[in-house]
Amino acid sequence: MYLPTEGSVRKKLKKLEGVQVTPTQRVVIDMSFDHLMNDKDIKNLIRQIERCYACNRRSSKPFHMVLAGLTGKSLQSLEEQVEGHQNWKNVTFESRSYQDVFDKENVVYLAAESDNVLSELDQTKVYVIGGLVDHNHHKGLSFSQAITEGFGHARLPIGEHIKLSSRKVLTVNHVYEILMSFAETGDWKESFLHVIPTRKGVETLALAPTDSHEPKSRTESDSELPVMSENST
C-alpha cells in the first residue's frame, strides 16, 4: 500500500493552490453614488470593497466582481488607497453604468424594500449591490431606482432566518460576504450568523424572544435591513 510522503503532500497542496477557478456568478457593486457621499464616506466605501476582494480571493467559489459606474471621486479614492488594484483577479473596473453593460432581464438589484425574497443564486443573473455609505439617509433609494428603471429586484431573506435587536444597515462587504457564504454553503442562516457582527444582536428565529417586545410585523421588524451600507468601523 502506497503512503504519500510529507513532501509529496506539500507539493500536491501547492499545485492545488495554484489552480484558477473561473467565476460564473456575477456580482456588481453600483459605484454611481459619489454625489450622495462626502470624502470620508467614499474612503469608507473603498475600504469595504477591499474587504469584498479579500473575501473573493479566499473563496473556493469566487464571484466575478464588477465595479460599475466607477468614475470621479470613487475612482480617485481607489487609485490613492489601493496600490496594485489593477492586478486584482476576477474583478472588472467599469466606468459605464450597470444599466449599459448588462441585459435588463438579467439584472437583480438587492433592496430590502423588495417583496421578492432571494432564495437561491441564479448564475444567469447579475446581482447588484448599491455602493452607498449613507448612514441610512437615503433609505429606499436602490429600490426606487430599480422600480423606476424597470430592473428586477429582491431582498436577502434576513427576516425568514434571524432577528436583530437593532435596525442598523449592512455594509457593502457584509452583503457581498453573505452572498459568497451562501454560494459556498447553500445555507442562509449559517451565512447570516457567520457574517453579521454580533453587536447587532443577532438571534436565530428558534431562539428569538416571543414576548410583547417582539416587532409587530415583518415589514416593521428590525431584521429587515436596507441592502445599503453604513459607516465602516
Which residues have a catalytic role annotated? 134
CA 27 to chain centre: 8
Give CA–CA dist 109/126, Å, rounded: 8
Give CA–CA dist 171/132, Å, rounded: 9
Q: How many residues does the chain have?
A: 233
- Angle at alpha carbon of residue 20, lines to 18 and 21, rounded to 5°: 140
Amino acid at 24: T
* Beta-ladder partners of 92: 66
DSSP class of 22: -
Give CA–CA dist 75/34, Å, rounded: 10
Q: Order of strands, edge to edge, in the sheet holding 152-154? A: 91-94, 64-68, 26-30, 126-130, 107-110, 152-154
Amino acid at 51: R
Other Cβ atoms within 10 Å of 208 Cβ, number? 14
